């Protein structure tokens, strides 16, 4: 999938450059990799499962993981942290509007809540949990912190790495 994503990003950057878009490569690559890094996780989340329910008490599911096997903890916590990590990492790189971490957290939480509502509404046999929303948003914020040196606002003002 990586070669296809690079090709699409390159073509999109060329198209944007022809139209006079500022920073066409930066925005094109960020847009394509946000989608490419998020869609597989969404596909997995929206695939029918075998357990269903709703968990609206914050941190209850995470507390229950304290007694789970390490592999299950790693899969649940790690997977949820990665769902919107591409979005969190690349949105601040793409747009200075998302240089504030609270904006990344708010967007990721809203998107995650929408995904959890879809899981419930479509009756996919999955547990819709507020803890998933919290972990998805936390993953986006951690990823945004990781890309702090390359943020759009810093690059535009010349204060980023050279």
- Write down the pLDDT at residue 152: 79
Q: Contact, 141 vs 101, CB < 8 A? A: yes
Model-level pTM?
A: 0.89
pLDDT tens readout for residues 39-75: 999 999 999 999 899 999 999 999 999 999 999 999 9
Average pLDDT of span 1-30: 95
- Write down the pLDDT at residue 154: 60
Q: Contact, 29 vs 9, CB < 8 A? A: yes
Residue spans of the domains in the chain: they are 49-157
Q: Helix, strand or coil for residue 128?
A: strand
Contacts of 83 (CB under 8 A, 6+ apart): 38, 41, 42, 45, 112, 115, 135, 136, 139
10 Å Cβ neighbour count for 153?
A: 16
H or E stretch including 105?
A: helix 101-121
pLDDT band at 33 (very low <50, low <70, confident <90, very high): very high
């Amino acid at each position: 999938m990586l070669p296809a994503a690079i090709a699409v990003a390159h073509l999109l950057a060329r198209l944007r450059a022809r139209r006079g878009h500022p920073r066409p490569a930066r925005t094109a690559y960020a847009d394509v990799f946000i989608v490419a890094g998020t869609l597989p996780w969404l596909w997995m989340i929206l695939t029918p499962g075998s357990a269903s329910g709703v968990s609206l008490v914050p941190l209850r599911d995470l507390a229950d993981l304290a007694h789970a096997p390490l592999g299950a903890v790693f899969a649940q916590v790690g997977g949820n942290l990665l769902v919107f990590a591409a979005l969190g990492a690349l949105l601040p790189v793409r747009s200075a509007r998302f240089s504030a971490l609270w904006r990344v957290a708010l967007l990721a939480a809203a998107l995650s809540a929408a995904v959890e509502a879809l899981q419930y509404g479509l009756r996919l046999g999955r547990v819709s949990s507020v803890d998933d929303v919290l972990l998805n948003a936390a993953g986006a914020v951690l990823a945004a912190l990781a890309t702090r040196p390359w943020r759009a606002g810093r690059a535009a003002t010349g204060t980023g790495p050279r």
